[in-house]
Structure 1
Amino acid sequence: MSAPTTGRLRVPGACLHYEVRGRGPLLLLIPGGTGGAAAFDGVADALAAEYTVASYDPRGLSRSPLDAPEPGRSVAEQSVAEHAEDALRLLDLLSPAEPARIFGSSSGAIAALHLLTARPERLVRLVAHEPPVVEVLPDAPVHRALLARVRDTLDAEGLVPAMGVFAAGLKKEGEADGNGQAPATPGPELPPAELPPAAAARAARTMADLPYFLGRIVPGFMAYSPDLGRLEAVSDRLVLAGGADSRGELPYRTAAFLADRFGSELLHFPGGHTGLTTHPAGFGEVLGQAFRK
């Protein structure tokens, strides 16, 4: 893996850490969850053979700190529109004269969908992998109730129980246990102390970012309702995607619902919702093909 060129972009209320590799037309990678730019380490070099590949840590996560709140005020719930504006500012910095290709994953795909509807002329194509825009689903009230349970659990019991409730709500129906908790998943093969330094640093950043992600990003992003009329009008630039192993899970359902609504084929990537991490080589190959069509 080659070392990227790194930069800092001052935006209203935050300072974004971004990374650039390669040469050619711009491909902006927008991460989901708490992965940040490092989520794309397994695919960026291969894509950089054809594109100028840019990735970044969204505001408030990892190496993109928010400005300190005013005295007596807490960090605000994050806005999809504001995160989309951040992506647009990076496009304007790195490709001011030409529209760009964008890949967004999970919450990053939600921000990218908003950008596509707000500024379609700035995008050649968007590949949106499992954006959990649950408000489009017929059973949206069920998922609003899930978000309320996550918030209440976070306030009353803390991060770990709230993450269990959240993970259970994303699973396929019937996969949670009787207490509404997701089944236990295996931990990493190596304990954190034995991970390579770069991986250990990434794991530490991920854990540190979880309270902000669950408490400040998830509520606003999963309550976001895209403008389906405007999105359909530019659906020729949109590729909706899901994981081959995540059929039936909540984020997959939203991608499949939108693809069906727009009469388009759902692109499948290897792995599940986190296939970018678990199957990087195959994931990168499918992503490259999606932008060549």
Structure 2
Amino acid sequence: MPSAPTARTLDVPGAHLHHEVRGTGPLVVLVGAPMDAEAFAPLADLLAVDHTVLTTDPRGIRRSTLDDPDQDSTPQLRADDLARLIAYADAGPAVVFGSSGGAVTALAHAQAHPEHVRVVIAHEPPLDELLDERAELRARTEEMISTYLAGDVLGAWRAFFATAGFELPDAVLHEMFGGERAPQQVADERRWFAHELRHTVAWLPDVEALRALGPRLVVAIGEESAGRLCDRTSRALAAALGSEPVLFPGGHTGFAEDPEAFEPRLRKLLSPL
């Protein structure tokens, strides 16, 4: 069994990044946005038997604090954070696995710092700008942000899940987002709607720069995500790159829901083809 994770804080311009390191061996980074390090802990434990595994809370989320709480979280800023974390770990170049907004972070990092990565695995990046209905998706994003900031939390989440392709009954939404909730959960949620969501889904990749990575860049999709928004954005990215997406067990959060099934598929991609 790997040793318990070591928690550290790295001071970077404008932020103080909480991150955790497990195991020894080649470096693997697991990153989300807005998902924090805890969501990746079970998968990190499995990989840490023979790898150094780094997980982190994105800037402004949970234990990663900001000098200016009103600062927006852009993929470029998070990519710079990732570059500094990899350099600080001093065990790179790294395999970077990013999921959802973290996949956008991983792609932005790969564009800016290709020398830092051995392999980049972008799992279901929500790249709305690659789709034909990009204008409609922009409008929906602005509407859900406005709905949230106006105080209608359930309405904002209802719109978000509908856009993403999930049909959640109101009873489930109430259970997840209604009533009394932990202050940190509410703070992270508000930051995501107010300062992160718009910038993440509006980010447009530099396809030529990413194509230069060749087989070092893998687009990944959950087997249960067929037809949903992030399945379509991921397939659009793979098509632009001239590659085929790799299917993983589960859906959008398969790495957290069943890490034991997810880990063998991920492990096969830890070295470039």
Q: Flag whether TM exceeds 0.5 (same fold).
A: yes
Q: Provide the C-alpha distance between the structure 1 equivalents of 2:213 and 2:268, rounded to a whole number of angstroms.
A: 20
Structure 1 residues 204 and 42 mapped into 2: Cα distance closer, same or farther (>3 Å)? farther
Q: Provide the C-alpha distance between the structure 2 equivalents of 1:188 and 1:160, rounded to a whole number of angstroms.
A: 7
Q: Provide the C-alpha distance between the structure 2 equivalents of 1:10 and 1:91, rounded to a whole number of angstroms.
A: 13
What's the RMSD between the two structures over aligned residues?
2.3
Alpha-carbon displacement from aligned partner over 1:107-158 (angstroms, at most 9, x marks no partner): 0110110111111111110011000011111221121111121122123343
Contact 2:154 2:173 in 1 (8 A): no
> What's the counterpart of residue 19 of structure 2?
18
Alpha-carbon displacement from aligned partner over 1:206-231 (angstroms, at most 9, x marks no partner): 44411111221101111111111211
Residue ranges of structure 2 left out of the alignment (5+ in a row): 176-180
Q: Provide the C-alpha distance between the structure 2 equivalents of 1:158 and 1:37, rounded to a whole number of angstroms.
A: 28
| TM-score when normalising by structure 1 | 0.84
Among 131, 136, 140, the alignment partner of 2:130 is: 136
Look up the SS of the partner of 1:10 in the other structure: strand
Look up the SS of the partner of 2:268 in the other structure: helix
> What's the counterpart of residue 146 of structure 1?
140
Identity %: 39
Structure 1 residues 3 and 204 mapped into 2: Cα distance closer, same or farther (>3 Å)? farther
Superposition map of 1:205-216 within 5 A: 205-216=184-195
Cα shift at 1:32: 2.9
Q: Does 1:287 pair with 2:266?
A: yes
Q: Provide the C-alpha distance between the structure 1 equivalents of 2:237 and 2:146, rounded to a whole number of angstroms.
A: 30
Q: Provide the C-alpha distance between the structure 1 equivalents of 2:85 and 2:94, rounded to a whole number of angstroms.
A: 11
Contact 1:77 1:219 in 2 (8 A): no
Letter in 2 for 1:162: A
Q: Does 1:57 pair with 2:57?
A: yes
Q: Provide the C-alpha distance between the structure 2 equivalents of 1:242 and 1:100, rounded to a whole number of angstroms.
A: 21
Q: Provide the C-alpha distance between the structure 2 equivalents of 1:185 and 1:283, rounded to a whole number of angstroms.
A: 29
Alpha-carbon displacement from aligned partner over 1:64-104 (angstroms, at most 9, x marks no partner): 011145xxxxx0322110110000000111126x4111000
Which stretch shifts more, 208-217 or 236-245?
208-217
Aligned length: 267
Residue ranges of structure 1 left out of the alignment (5+ in a row): 70-74, 177-181, 190-200
Letter in 2 for 1:217: E
Letter in 2 for 1:164: R
| TM-score when normalising by structure 2 | 0.90
